[in-house]
Amino acid sequence: MCGRKFSHEELTWAEYRDILAIVQPPPNSNFQPNYNICPTQQVPVCVSRNGTRSLELMHWGLVPRWARDSKYAARMINARAETLAEKPSFAPLLEKNRCIIMVSGFYEWQRDGQARTPYKIERSDHQPMLLAGLWTHNDRLDRDSYAVITTAAPPSFSPIHDRTPAILERSGIGAWLENSWEDAEKLTKPYRGDLTATRISSLVNSNRNNGPELLEPIAA
List the catalytic residue out of 2, 56, 99, 122: 2
Cα Rg of the chain, angstroms:
17
Cα dihedral 22, 23, 28, 29 sign:
positive
- 108 annotated active-site: yes
**Residues in Cβ contact with 127 at an 8 Å cutoff, skipping those fewer than 6 apart:** none
Strands (DSSP E) along the chain, which ranges?
4-7, 34-37, 42-49, 52-60, 78-80, 98-103, 105-112, 115-123, 129-138, 143-152, 163-165, 167-168, 195-199
- 2 annotated active-site: yes
User: d(Cα 5, Cα 36) in Å, to the nearest integer?
Assistant: 6
Strand partners, 137: 144
List the catalytic residue out of 46, 56, 99, 108: 108
User: d(Cα 111, Cα 20) in Å, to the nearest integer?
Assistant: 35
User: d(Cα 193, Cα 50) in Å, to the nearest integer?
Assistant: 31
* 188 close to 149: Cβ distance less than 8 angstroms: yes
Strand partners, 152: 163
**Which residues participate in catalysis according to the annotation?**
2, 108
